[in-house]
Chains A and B, each alone.
Chain A
Amino acid sequence: MSEVRDRLAHLFRRAGFGATPEELDFWEPQGVDAAVDWMLAERPDPTDKDPKPTNFLDGGLALINWWFRKMQRTNRPFREKMTLFWHGHFATSLAKVGLAKYMLQQNETLRNYGMGDFRMLLKKINLDPAMMIWLDTLGSYKDHPNENYSREVMELFTLGRHQYTESDIKELARAFSGYTFDYGIGDNGVKTPWGHDFGFKKIFSAIGDFDADSVVPLLTGHPHCTKFLAWRLYRFFVNESALEGDAAWFGDVIKLNRFNIKESMRALFLSEQFYSPENRYARIKSPVEYTLSLLRDTGTRPDLYSIYYMSAMGQLLMYPPTVEGWKGGMIWMSSTRMFRRFQFAQYQCTKSADGAGSIFSPQTAKTLFGDMTAEQMTDAVCQRMLGRQPEPTTRSLLVGYLSGAKHGSQFVASVESGLKHLRGLANLIAALPDYQLS
């Protein structure tokens, strides 16, 4: 595979949810820069017309399905990937929020503001109804204000550990005291004259009658904010074992771009660091990424089992396990979760009723894989799903699996036994260690 094609595949895996060989064929002559431009460009997205969920008492299933289908079908994959990042960053769970309506509202805030100025996004999230319920800003008043949000907004959303004192937490909690929102309309929180602490607070070295809005410049003006944000983005988009220092240069980029996320990400996707060998295949696909990549690579359709299995693999959208979001990495590879991946791959690769886009439909299978030897067949399906050949031991095991289904010396994808083995082969490839990597 050419270096350009390899870079494109990397870009599409990270900035979006992967690319088919046909998409890579399209972009290869145009180059990486053009693909980055396309990724970041605005354009009408047909999925914006999808009917929004109206049932908010179903535990969020309609909402989850709506978003999942949007991620799968969107023509703006980067916007959805960014939304997914923010969902893990400002991790809020329906488990406590209770009403999916507020989660939808938060999801739209993340999508609409997630590529703009981070300071504006933070301002919105500070008083976002779902967040106010999740971290107890709702119900916190001037006497003994609740410290839940004030701690997490610094530790997890803006600064990281060791950048503030217990006193900063207490003072910040006073700034966030006394907010409420209209439960019916669900607009962002407003200050109540009777519940808010209007007194002077000392946060970091600043003194003033701060409130939820006026603390935003304090938090984002803190010298560690761009460093921390850069690190969080870097771990999600570049290398999940990155240390804070690895992302230092990207913090400067964010500062230079005045917290504009889209332009900062453009610089990232155009950087040499992004494509350096140690950053390729340096992430474990999250269950959402895994599920979407398998759907894309096989051309098969999702159903509610996609969501069921994503949850069993450890990632139920709208239900991050803690305010820290999903930890990711090898944690996705705990025994049960790994088996759920294998099982989902089995389900998705062997279920019937595929459309013509599926590589398992007889016509498509015949076009793509024709009459091949077991070796050719293994290589062709690996090329499509992994973008490369597996190492020799694995390759010969896959070839061995196919060898029972030959007709003479040829592997005929279009006959029943051949199709069954094509499905089995895709199942096995989706279960390979290499396929778990992004």
Chain B
Amino acid sequence: MAGITRRDFLKGLTFVSIGAGMGVKASAGFGKRFMAGDHIMVVIQMSGGNDGLNTVVPYTDPKYYQYRPDIAIAANRVVPLSSKLGLHPQLQPLKSIWESGDMAVIHGVGYPNPDRSHFRAMEIWQTGSPDVPANLTEGWIGKYMDKEGHLLTTAAGAMAIGGGDVPYAMYTPLYSPPSFETPDDFTPLFGDNFTVELMKRKATLRTIYQTGTPEIQLAEQVRVAGKAAISASDLISSSINHGSNSVTYPQSGLGTTLRNVARLISSGIDTRIYYVTIGGFDTHAYQEDLHPDLLQELSGALRAFYDDLQGLGYADKVVLMTFSEFGRRVEQNVSFGTDHGTAAPLFVIGKPVAGGFYGEQPTLSDLDENSDLKFDVDFRQVYATMIQGWMGEDADLVLGSHFDRLGFIS
């Protein structure tokens, strides 16, 4: 656990004075349990099962090299974070964030009786519950939205951006979050070339979705989703024009997406949660041809985003977390890849974050009955810290039971 450093203390001071000036935030330690206001959370889902051992590398452990003769990261290539652990070389751009104390590495995140199916494991992470049968109508973010009722009434209280399906994490029966690839998706329907007929057609469509009363229940569900989408589209396409960026982002999928997130944040839009998915981490074969590029895309985009928020003056408002549905097997397979495993580290990044290591790095000397890593930190502890420590909502209520918070948000 990281102790209080001089920097943290200074950070705390800044926090209080800004809070006092704006009158919106109560700082930690001043009696108010939950912080209300304008905090923003960005979640990056790394789909496919990111290889934790090649992300945060135990580069002094001979067992690591024994288990992975062909795909281990050589000790002289890692970006050292401590005398035992270092980042994959492609994560170099994160080094200075780590050094500024704005990056937490949470070790061995998992849960009891881990499931190695992509789909089941993703359901567990996204619903915040390993219960069987899974309740897929409500995810952990959806439940947060429900508790934070006013977010349900804004057009874009939470959004999935960058493409792909709306994640179960954002499901709630009460709200249908907008999901889009780029804000260009929301250029006005039917184009800009208005004629009287087109204007009328567009207005008719809008009114049908706003006031229609379909008799079939599934059609009514579609109507409600469409109505929300139309409102969100109006809001997002106008907001993106009011936002800006202060740095150049790498040319990559994630780079483009985070650039748009920063732009939306700087527009002042009332979105509290951005959910971003990056795929491709299912590295069963020839991992070293794939994994470095994925980590490069991740670190380059994260670094630009971090710098951009500083430049835009939003660094104090945003915390970003990464996760993947599982880590990978300790031992490499014959295809120079790794199969589905269990616990893995995740990152939490942002100016408000108390950087450092949290939890214990799982040992390679005491594996579980499937020769996989044993978890140390329950993923719901990370959620609880984000929900309560950062977003100011009662995590016990959102998650349905109590999970000890971690210290990465003071």
Contact = CB atoms under 8 A, between A and B. Distances in A.
B340 A144 contact: no
A322 B118 contact: yes
Interface string B222-263: 110110110011000000000000000000000000000000
Contacts of A204: none
B197 A420 contact: yes
B288 interface: no
Interface in A212-234: none
A434 B222 CA distance: 8
B205 A428 contact: yes
Nearest to A333: B225
Given A148-B339, A151-B116, A335-B232, A281 B219 contact: yes
B285 interface: yes
A339 B119 contact: no
Given A146-B333, A431-B205, A334 B179 contact: yes
Contacts of B219: 281, 432-434, 436-437
A121 interface: no
B24 interface: no
Interface in A301-345: 314, 321-324, 327, 330-331, 333-336, 338-339, 342-343
Contacts of A135: 284
Contacts of A330: 221-222, 225
Contacts of A346: 189-190
A433 B214 contact: yes
Interface in A413-438: 420-421, 424, 427-428, 431-434, 436-437
A161 interface: yes
A139 B335 contact: yes
Interface string B117-130: 11110000000000
B332 A136 contact: no
Contacts of B222: 284, 330, 333, 338, 433, 436-437
Nearest to B132: A162
Interface centre among A144, A147, A336 (most CB of B within 10 A): A336
Given A139-B285, A147-B340, A437-B219, A339 B186 contact: yes
A394 interface: yes
A45 B190 CA distance: 38
A400 B165 contact: no
Contacts of A335: 178-180, 185-186, 225, 228-229, 232-233
Contacts of B197: 404, 420-421, 424
B332 A144 contact: yes
A398 interface: yes
A284 B218 contact: yes
Nearest to B195: A420
A135 B282 CA distance: 10
B335 A397 contact: no
Contacts of B84: none
A136 B284 contact: yes
Contact of B333 (A140, A281, A401, A427): A140
Given A146-B339, A333-B225, A281 B216 contact: yes
A398 to B, nearest CB: 7
Nearest to B119: A324
Interface in A112-154: 135-136, 139-148, 151
B153 interface: no
Interface in A341-400: 342-343, 346, 390-394, 397-398, 400
B207 A397 contact: yes
B26 interface: no
A230 to B, nearest CB: 18
Contacts of A327: 165
B220 interface: yes
A333 B225 CA distance: 7
Given A333-B225, A335-B178, A321 B164 contact: yes
Given A331-B166, A334-B179, A335-B228, A391 B212 contact: yes
Contacts of A398: 204, 208
B215 A391 contact: yes
B302 to A, nearest CB: 24
Q: Which of B118, B200, B222, B232 has the most CB of A within 10 A?
A: B222
Interface string B311-341: 0000000000000000000011111010110
A437 B216 contact: yes
B166 A393 contact: no
B147 to A, nearest CB: 23
A282 interface: yes
Interface of A: 135-136, 139-148, 151, 155, 161-162, 166, 281-282, 284, 314, 321-324, 327, 330-331, 333-336, 338-339, 342-343, 346, 390-394, 397-398, 400-401, 404, 420-421, 424, 427-428, 431-434, 436-437
25 contacts: A135-B284, A140-B333, A146-B285, A146-B337, A147-B284, A161-B120, A284-B222, A331-B166, A333-B221, A334-B166, A334-B178, A334-B180, A335-B185, A335-B233, A336-B181, A339-B229, A343-B190, A391-B212, A393-B208, A393-B211, A394-B214, A401-B204, A404-B197, A432-B208, A436-B219
Closest 4 CB pairs of A and B: A335-B229, A433-B222, A336-B180, A334-B179
Interface of B: 116-120, 132, 160, 164-166, 178-181, 185-186, 189-190, 196-197, 200-201, 204-205, 207-209, 211-216, 218-223, 225-226, 228-229, 232-233, 282, 284-285, 331-335, 337, 339-340, 370
